[in-house]
Amino acid sequence: MLPDPPLWLILVAFVCALGPLVFFHELGHYLVARLFGIPAETFSIGFGHEIVGWTDRQGTRWKVGWLPLGGYVKFVGDMSPASEPAELESIPADLRDRAFQVRPVWQRFLVVLAGPAANFLLAILIFTAIFMTLGGPSTNVIGTVLPKSAAASVGLEPGDRILSVAGQDIADFNVLQTIVFDRPGQSVPLRFKRGDQVHQVAVRLASEEVADPLGHKMKRGLLGVSPGRLPVTRAVPDAARYTWVITRSIVDGIVEMVRGRVSTKEIGGPIRIAQIAGQGASLGILPFVQLVALLSINLGFINLLPVPMLDGGHLFFYGVEAVRRRPLSAHALEWAFRSGLALILALVLFTTVNDLGSLGLWDRLQRLIG
């Protein structure tokens, strides 16, 4: 497993990862609201006392709070903490017809949906940039060959197209990686195309020892090549597919957890996110940027869950309102808010206990008591 980075790096990485994700999420809400002419009162990154801020020409207060654990954008007529819309009498007369609460339900739905959608879009943009600059997994063309690698020893060059390895056809680097990883230290036949000529060589794959997420040691094979760069016309759809695959894996993980096949100890909270962000930053800018993309997908997915207080909860209520042709009562919304708040607080408590356990706190306390 990766060594823990210093505390200062964990804190800096956590802020640098979470800040842009929250900003992009809230910017999605804000831009779609502006599209519909809904004015915003406040756009805040972080909570608590304002560190720095300014007011734009539209009257929106942009500010940064001292506690970097989230953020929000508050529209004129938006919900109060008790999920109750502001009284129209409390809204300036020139803004009442533009207030959030009086807009058609489909507009409110799209404004709320835009937040999670922005997080998925950010991940797609990050993966697109990576595929265009460093290479994408949907090609079988070699982009770079590592010096003194197994590939270099048999004369493979950038631009070569790998056709098969170990008798199995290679459609893209995902397939190549799977085949190579399962054959550490083995000598396998490899067919590749250079120009109009097809060549076949026998290559002895390198071997390295790695640890899985649970810390178990394992060996994997290495060829020593990376994929070629993709044009934007291929990078964008590939990035979208890659984002979808990751999202689906999150859903599969939740299903496996419900079935009891994956331990709930794997669920982490802010402490573990900060730790992972620090580890990613310690490995370099590319692993950190990739981690930001993964966190963005997770943030978008979590916000779509139909839990009151989250975007998904509001979307659920707007769906009910569209079917009933009238909103739920203030009493029902208040109880839904309380239930959602209790659920979120319980989840925060649970993940914090897990996080502290992953840091070894409970084991140390048990040894002290024992």
SS (H, E, C) 208-234: EEEECCCCCEEEEEECCEEECCCCHHH
The HSE-up count of residue 164 (CA atoms within 13 Å, CB side) is 9
d(Cα 175, Cα 199) in Å, to the nearest integer? Answer: 20
Q: Are strands 168-169 and 142-145 parallel, antiparallel or unpaired?
A: unpaired
HSE toward the beta carbon, residue 81, CA cutoff 13 A:
1
Tokens representing 77 are 């007529």
C-alpha distances in Å from residue 362, one per residue of 70, 264, 352, 357, 367: 28, 16, 12, 5, 9
d(CA 49, CA 26): 19
User: What amino acid is encoded at 183 in this protein?
Assistant: R
Continuous segment of H or E residues that includes residue 257: helix 232-258
Phi, psi of 190 (to 5 degrees): -135, 125
Q: Is 84 a catalytic residue?
A: no
54 - beta bridge partners? 62
Take residue 185 and report the two structure tokens written for it.
Answer: 């230290």
Question: Catalytic pick from 26, 50, 157, 256?
Answer: 26
Per DSSP, 272 falls in state H
Are residues 140 and 126 in contact, defined by beta-carbon separation less than 8 angstroms?
no
Tokens 């994700």 identify what position? 21
Provide the annotated active-site residues.
26
